[in-house]
Structure 1
Amino acid sequence: MSETARASIRIDADRSAVWRALTDPETISRFMFGTKVETDWQEGSPIVYRGEWEGAPYEDHGTLLEVVPDDRLVSTYYSPLSGKPDVPENYQTVSYLLSTEGDATLVTVTQGGCADAAEAERMSGNWGMTLESLRSVVEGG
């Protein structure tokens, strides 16, 4: 049985501004700690994340499942740093969901396929930090 990580944040910007931040490679690099993202943002296309974490280079990847501008972005996700083989059953699903909250946008990230509650809790914390960084970038311009 797998667990799901979840984190949400309210960003004082409209959904279009948040969407641009989530899909612009330069902006992604700013809020995802230097990660370089490569994709064409089309459903069914590959997405690759490259960077360095704690001094070690990484290259994570997946496939875009849903791309609905200003609404949701869903992909599969695999990281070799997991130590698991690169096979479909070891891929997780990451979803960014945007909703309007007054003049702001509520961003909710879920990461399904966590091995256990401890991994889900750890990933929820990581996503919380990432969303704080996203808010800082979007609200700071």
Structure 2
Amino acid sequence: MTGYEASATTDVAALPHTVWTALTTPELAATYMFGATVTSDFEPGGAITFAGTWEGRPYEDHGTVLDAEEPRLLRYTHVSSGGRAETPEDRHTLTFTLEEIPDGTRVTLVQDNNATPEAAEHARQNWVRVLEALRLTAERLGG
């Protein structure tokens, strides 16, 4: 990993397979990914896209699934150029780790390649919100 890392963790009162389902079902992703339409087969080497509107502007971010080890690890690249020409600074790797704990699943998310400590903190704050919404989604699914 490169640059500064942003990380967030949450505990979910659901089994890892349920959290995995919430994490990898495109229809459920909009509930925790800021309303984005997520498209992917979640197979290593496959594409992943995030499309939506942010602050009144349409966007389409993209990446490649690197690892998908159900129900414990999902890792993919993410590129968000904001409509500019892409640069290496726009590329991140997102790693979701699911660990079974006595009351459910601990989900940890790490995003690499943040340019500054402030950018990493901003990303961390976003991921805290995402993981909270993921927790609620998975707990609604039950199991």
| Common topology (TM > 0.5) | yes
Deviation at 1:91, TM superposition (A): 1.2
Q: Is the CA contact 2:26–2:40 (under 8 Å) kept in the aligned structure 1?
A: no
1:30-62 alpha-carbon deviations (Å, 9 max, x no partner): 122211111121101111100111111110001
What amino acid does structure 1 have at the position aligned with 2:23? L
Partner in structure 2 of residue 140 of structure 1:
140
Q: Residue type matched to 1:7 in 2?
A: A
Structure 2 CA distance for aligned equivalents of residues 82 and 10 of structure 1:
35
2:103 aligned partner:
103
Partner residue, 2:6: 5
Report the more deviating stretch, 73-82 or 98-107. 73-82
Deviation of the 1:131 alpha carbon = 0.6
> TM-score with structure 2 length normalisation?
0.92
Cα offset, 1:103, TM superposition: 2.8
- Aligned partners of 2:98 and 2:107 also within 8 Å: yes
Relative to structure 1, the CA distance from residue 46 to residue 54 in structure 2 (aligned partners, 3 Å threshold; closer, same or farther) is same
What is the match of residue 17 of structure 1? 18
Q: Which amino acid letter does the alignment assign opposite residue 20 of structure 2?
A: W
The residue identity in structure 2 corresponding to 1:93 is T
Please say if residues 72 and 97 of structure 2, whose CA atoms lie closer than 8 Å, have aligned partners that are also in contact: yes
Contact 2:80 2:90 in 1 (8 A): no
- 2:76 pairs with 1:56: no
Q: Which amino acid aligns with 2:79?
A: Y
* Whole-angstrom CA distance in 1 between matches of 2:23 and 2:40: 12
Letter in 2 for 1:122: H
Residue 87 and residue 45 in structure 1: after superposition, are their counterparts in 2 closer, same or farther (change >3 A)?
farther
How many residue pairs are counted as aligned between the two chains?
A: 140
| Correspondence for 2:45 | 44
The amino acid of 2:51's aligned partner reads R
What is the rounded CA distance, in whole Å, between the counterparts of 1:139 and 1:130 in structure 2? 14
Q: Secondary structure at the match of 2:59?
A: strand
Match of 2:117 in 1: 117
More deviation, 128-137/30-39: 30-39
Root-mean-square deviation (CA, aligned residues, Å) is 1.5
